[in-house]
């Protein structure tokens, strides 16, 4: 009996001498025995710490993936309609444009930002004095000009002054240099061949859906005096708003 008691005391002292960071430190003998696996190894509790190289449970990975998919769906539900709406506006309603060159000075200055609206020309033709954006015949470059002659009118430049149906148009135009002009075909499109004129042009009667356009800066403008009257198909829309610079903000009627 004395020997058995000494053995128990020795085992107890060995348990008490376990280091503080040992997995079994501070654990009762009954708990220690329950945690021992085959051969006396410490059994795993089943928890994994991701910080020391473990992986997240499958259920948590699935939750994260579902959250990402849900977020992407929400973003697409907002972005795609916005892109579609912007494309519709650009194609059929309005378009931003920038003034290039000096042909429309002093009313429009280089690098000013404008909004061209397209909707009104689906229902009505361009009218006198409207500032329009059009494709230059042949080159298809976008240019900005002012409508000075509409279908059925006779346009003439005589002694440097613009005449529409024999009446002087306001503002007056004074041509101070020789220009090269193309003659217009019957449908209003430009025809091959150049004709030279000084301060005189025309008279030319505008056919159906054909318009005469000029730059406000008449001495520095490539317009109907050089490429002839333009068909309505070439006109993209009219200038509606000048939004930049803010100090020159204008709504054009």
Report the alpha-carbon distance of residue 161 to residue 171 in Å, rounded: 9
Q: Which of 28, 34, 103, 221 is catalytic?
A: 103
The closest alpha carbon to 231, from 161, 179, 184, belongs to 184
Domain extent listing, the chain: 92-251
Q: Which of 4, 44, 145, 199 is catalytic?
A: 145
135 compared with 90, residue with greater pLDDT:
135
Range among 12-26, 27-41, 195-209 with highest mean pLDDT value: 195-209
Taking each continuous run of H as one helix and of E as one strand, the counts in the chain are 4, 14
Strand 154-158 and strand 230-231: pairing?
unpaired
Provide the mean pLDDT of the chain: 75
2 compared with 253, residue with greater pLDDT:
253
4 part of the active site: no
Per-residue pLDDT at 158: 84
The topology (CATH level 3) of 92-251 is Umud Fragment, subunit A (2.10.109)
What's the average model confidence in pLDDT over 72-81? Answer: 78
What are the tens digits of pLDDT across the range 49-75? 544 455 556 667 778 888 888 888 887
Q: Where are the alpha helices (DSSP H) in 18-92?
A: 29-35, 58-88
What are the tens digits of pLDDT across the range 227-236? 899 999 999 9
193 compared with 136, residue with greater pLDDT:
136
176 part of the active site: no
Per-residue pLDDT at 186: 41
Band (pLDDT 50/70/90 cuts) for residue 202 is: confident
Report the alpha-carbon distance of residue 250 to residue 185 in Å, rounded: 37
Band (pLDDT 50/70/90 cuts) for residue 83 is: confident
């Amino acid at each position: 009996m004395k020997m058995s008691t000494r053995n128990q005391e020795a085992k107890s002292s060995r348990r008490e001498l376990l280091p503080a960071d040992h997995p079994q430190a501070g654990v009762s003998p009954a708990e220690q025995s329950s945690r021992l696996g085959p051969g006396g190894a410490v059994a795993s509790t089943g928890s994994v710490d991701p910080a020391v190289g473990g992986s997240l449970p499958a259920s948590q990975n699935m939750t994260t993936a579902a959250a990402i998919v849900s977020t992407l769906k929400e973003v697409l539900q907002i972005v795609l309609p916005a892109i579609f709406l912007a494309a519709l506006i650009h194609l059929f309603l309005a378009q931003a444009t920038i003034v290039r060159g000096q042909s429309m000075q002093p009313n429009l200055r280089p690098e000013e930002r404008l909004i061209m609206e397209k909707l009104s020309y689906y229902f009505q033709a361009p009218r006198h004095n409207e500032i329009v954006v059009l494709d230059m015949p042949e080159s298809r470059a976008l240019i900005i000009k002012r409508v000075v002659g509409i279908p059925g009118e006779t346009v003439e430049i005589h002694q440097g002054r613009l005449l529409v149906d024999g009446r002087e148009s306001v503002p007056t135009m004074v041509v101070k240099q020789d220009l090269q002009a193309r003659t217009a075909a019957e449908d209003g499109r430009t025809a091959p061949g150049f004709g030279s004129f000084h301060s005189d042009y025309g008279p030319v009667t505008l056919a159906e859906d054909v318009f005469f356009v000029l730059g406000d800066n008449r001495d520095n403008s490539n317009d109907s005096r050089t490429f002839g009257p333009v068909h309505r198909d070439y006109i993209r829309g009219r200038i509606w708003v000048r939004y930049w610079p803010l100090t020159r903000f204008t709504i054009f009627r």
